[in-house]
Structure 1
Amino acid sequence: MHCPSCHADDTKVVDSRLAAEGSAIRRRRQCLGCGYRFTTYERVEELPLVVTKSDGTTQPFDRDKIVHGLRAATKGRSVDDITIAELASAVEDELRLDGGEVTSSRIGLAVLERLRVVDEVAYMRFASVYKNFDGAADFQSELELLKKLS
């Protein structure tokens, strides 16, 4: 495993534990070169998950897209990378239970469900992009929905 900080290829596992309700192993690693600590996840490789986009096209599922969207929504918030990775993994696990093909809208809703519990500001940011808000009225109606769900 390469160090994300200095790109050295000599790292050691410092701690291992079950994650995602036993469907993955979370490993804390430390770079022997620079001492940087980071987290990796090991999971069983499963059947490919295919995403059907709103225009009808399909593409392979990419968890990194969820992580990227979550990082954008949580920028400047007190949500750490471990929480983001766990949220993305939980969404992926849920989608895999639904079968080999899911819609992009299903992915967005699954992310919103979990993000609402983690950080309400990040939820509103994600919702504004996902639901394509046009103005303040869209934020207001989403805020009212958020209040009802809380």
Structure 2
Amino acid sequence: MRCPYCGGDETQVKDSRPTEDNTAIRRRRVCSACGGRFTTFERVQLRELVVLKRSGRRVPFDRDKLIRSVQVALRKRPVDPERIERMVSGIVRQLESIGENEVTAEEIGQLVMEGLKSLDDVAYVRFASVYRNFREAKDFEALLDELTGDPQAIAAIREAKRDPE
């Protein structure tokens, strides 16, 4: 493993342990050249996944990109990072277990929305607004109706805003 500080090739593993959800091995390393310490993670990869974008392009699946997009939706929300990691690991396992090497961006988006819906409602709405390309307030209203399952509750909130008493 190359040292991220000096670029040296000689690093030693000082400690290895599984992550809490047992989906990866966390390794603590030390560089022999500069003494820098860093952590690496080793994960099982069942197959090389390719994402078919809406434009028709094919790009390699990037787990880190998935994590970043989920973190953007969850920014400033009180969600434990380990729950985020478990959700992303679950999504990756689902994608790998589909049996196809190629998955659509829509499939990934749907899995992320399902995960966020059970994790945090605000993050779910944030992600959905970008994923579904919301253009008007009524798009949000429709999603909130879907989320709450009660269109009358949304109408009551709207009415209360108009008539503040």
Smaller-chain TM-score bracket: 0.7 to 0.9
SS in 2 for 1:145: helix
Counterpart of 2:72 in structure 1: which amino acid?
A
CA deviation after TM superposition for structure 1 residue 25, in Å: 3.3
Q: What are the Cα deviations for residues 65-101 of structure 1, in whole angstroms up to 9, with x where unaligned?
A: 1111111111110113222222111111101111211
Partner Cα distance (2:15, 2:85) in 1:
18
Partner Cα distance (1:57, 1:80) in 2:
34
Q: Which of 11, 15, 18 does residue 16 from structure 1 map onto?
A: 18
SS in 2 for 1:51: strand
Aligned to 1:25: 24
**Structure 1 unaligned runs (5+)?**
none
**Structure 2 unaligned runs (5+)?**
150-165
Distance change >3 Å, CA 49–CA 138, structure 1 → 2? same
SS in 2 for 1:89: helix
Q: What are the Cα deviations for residues 26-83 of structure 1, in whole angstroms up to 9, with x where unaligned?
A: 548699x9x99x8x65322322101100111111001111111111111110113222
Q: CA RMSD in A?
A: 3.0
Partner Cα distance (1:96, 1:45) in 2:
8
Aligned to 2:46: 46
Tell which has more relative contact order, 1 or 2 (C-alpha 8 A, sep 6+).
Answer: 1
Contact 1:52–1:103 (CA<8 Å) still a contact in 2? yes
Aligned to 1:128: 129
Relative to the length of structure 2, the TM-score reads 0.70
Aligned to 1:88: 88
Partner Cα distance (1:88, 1:57) in 2:
23
Counterpart of 1:73 in structure 2: which amino acid?
A
State the structure with more CA Rg. 2
Partner Cα distance (2:145, 2:56) in 1:
32
Aligned length: 141
Contact 1:13–1:28 (CA<8 Å) still a contact in 2? yes
SS in 2 for 1:45: coil
Partner Cα distance (2:127, 2:53) in 1:
18
CA deviation after TM superposition for structure 1 residue 124, in Å: 0.4
Counterpart of 2:116 in structure 1: which amino acid?
L
Partner Cα distance (2:87, 2:29) in 1:
23
Contact 1:18–1:26 (CA<8 Å) still a contact in 2? no
Partner Cα distance (2:148, 2:70) in 1:
21
Distance change >3 Å, CA 145–CA 72, structure 1 → 2? same
